[in-house]
Amino acid sequence: MDGFEMKTVTNRNLRTSNDPNMAYLDTLYKGIRQNWPEMSDEEIEEYLEGCIR
């Protein structure tokens, strides 16, 4: 993607619950904050919450 090699991890079976670890969410939060500094804390939290099934 955009000239960078990517790897994905997928599963053919849809899980009923997919609650991420807080350390993982924190890593995602920091990455979003670094790359999209215009996003507010609330916007980032809403985005991440929307990604959890």
Tokens 């790897």 belong to residue:
7
pLDDT of residue 18: 67
Q: What is the DSSP letter of 3?
A: T
User: Tens digits of per-residue pLDDT, 1-53?
Assistant: 788 887 777 777 776 776 888 999 999 999 999 999 999 999 999 999 988 76
**CA 38/CA 53 separation, integer angstroms:** 26
* Three-class SS of 1-53: CCCCCCCCCCCCCCCCCCCCCHHHHHHHHHHHHHHCCCCCHHHHHHHHHHHCC
User: Contacts by 46-50 with C-beta closer than 8 Å and gap 24+?
Assistant: none
- This prediction has a pTM of 0.64
